[in-house]
Chains A and B, each alone.
Chain A
Amino acid sequence: MTTTAQNRAERTATAVPLHRPISTALHKRPRVRLGALLALPLTWLVGLYIFSLALLLITAFWLVDPFTSLVRPGFTLDNFALLFSNPAYISTSLRTLGIALAVTALSAAFAIPLGIFMAKIASPWMRAVLAVAITLPLWAGYLVKIVAMRITFTEEGFFNTVAGAFGLSGPGFGIPTVIITLTYLWFPYMALPVYTAIRQIPVNLFDASADLGASGWTTIRTVVMPLLTPALIAGSVFTFSLSLGDYLAARFVGGANSQMIGSIIASNINLNPPVAAAFSVVPIAFVVIYLLVTRRTGALERM
């Protein structure tokens, strides 16, 4: 009899999965379903990203023991005052901003014609080759790429050897090489969204523009560029903010006078975390201002 009861119980048990109680319950509760979907990304976003950012900002107001580097909670504006009191820090901030803008502009200037070629002119085979070529640098380590650029631009390096044949000499190590290196590093982040956006432009818009009298250049300016605005903004947020935060390029190919904000943060990160935190606010502020400006121009709204 016990056996029969067990058998029955087992049979019932095997039947249960057909009911799929969890799926059924979720099916009737869209909010719960949504919650389940977003739980993980939200935990990540709020817990790690926003929380750590907030912590960083709070740290910027804290004090530090000058000898032991021990951080003490408290409140001081000295760390921020440092940003403005020292002309060297101001010029470093402006230099960093200039480099980031130049990298962004250069990346865009390369990405647009390349994207047009890839999306509208190149054969499928050529397109695949170029897509791989653009993304290839992403596969290599960041430091490896910087060192590669260093070797390329060193005095007796590849660049000077090639340019020397034409009686030219390279820029050496300095701000121009930092800009070139950062452009090399971040170019894929600009090129890919731009290329995707160009692919999505119907080919007959190009024909229509030519048909209505526009030269190729006018078409790029009046049709392609406006349609690329969202992609350019997306790409430039990457190139701009990644450049703002970088300091290793400046260290390896920057020569004597290309200290960036990141260099200041790196010098202080363990030694004086509050000062590092205060300086971290500078690139954040630049990016926020940048996004506000793009928003104000209405570039994002007409799409």
Chain B
Amino acid sequence: MTSADSTPRDAARDAAVTIANVDKTFATREGEVHALKDVSLTVAAGEFVSLIGPSGCGKSTLLRLVADLDQPTAGAVRVFGKPARQARVDQDYGIAFQQSGLLPWRTVRGNIELPLELHRDGPHGADAASRRSRAAELIELVGLGEFAEKYPDQLSGGMQQRVAIARAIAEKPNLLLMDEPFGALDEMTREYLQSELLRIAAETGAAVVFVTHSIPEAVYLSDRVVVMSPRPGRIEAIIDMKLGATEQRTDAIREDVAFFEMVTAVRESLHRGSPPTGSIPARDLAAREGRSA
């Protein structure tokens, strides 16, 4: 790292994300829904933070506020010290959703090159050759070397998610936002991709905000787990994980006593915060999940 590069990095080290007293209400046919109430959270640079909670606790909404895909009703969201909108325009974060969101008419390589093509003034967008070499790098990084010229419908769900992750980190963002990226995958693929993600996060040094509803997933991945509860969506507890540094975590940790202790701590916190989800009418839940159309 040269000295010229170090200035923005130093500024970033303070906080990747600052969320201060954020409220979010959605107007629905049944009246206003309070999706988030007085949420404050800081994510340090390079930190891995998971948001966990039952459906309707506003965890996805919170992520969308950070991504500037929605705007808070009150309060402020800052990313690397800038308003969320500015951070989005400046491409300060990469994002992956539960659906891979790949363009089916583009190959794996074409999909990964998409953000580079759209941002010609970005770090790897200048010309076709540099886009191509960056895409090749990323394809190797996510272990899809033989599949560069395949189309998304020729890949398994897990492979599609790996492409989506490669696309999210294509421009080397210092923040990665992930909305249940492994939610639709089977358990085996899921555990494999969790380890891959840890490796990638360690390699890139990016901060990660990771939405999930899986307790073991949150515990395995995170430095801190933010437990949220619904009606209205709020932060119930923030639990520090003590499983060692990101790059040292391996699959063996899943069988460690400390891992089970952390799982228990998160589970108890979750249950304290919310009644059994069965008692919430489905319609209500749907309304709370409510993405504004």
Q: Are chains A and B native binding partners rather than an unrelated pairing?
A: no
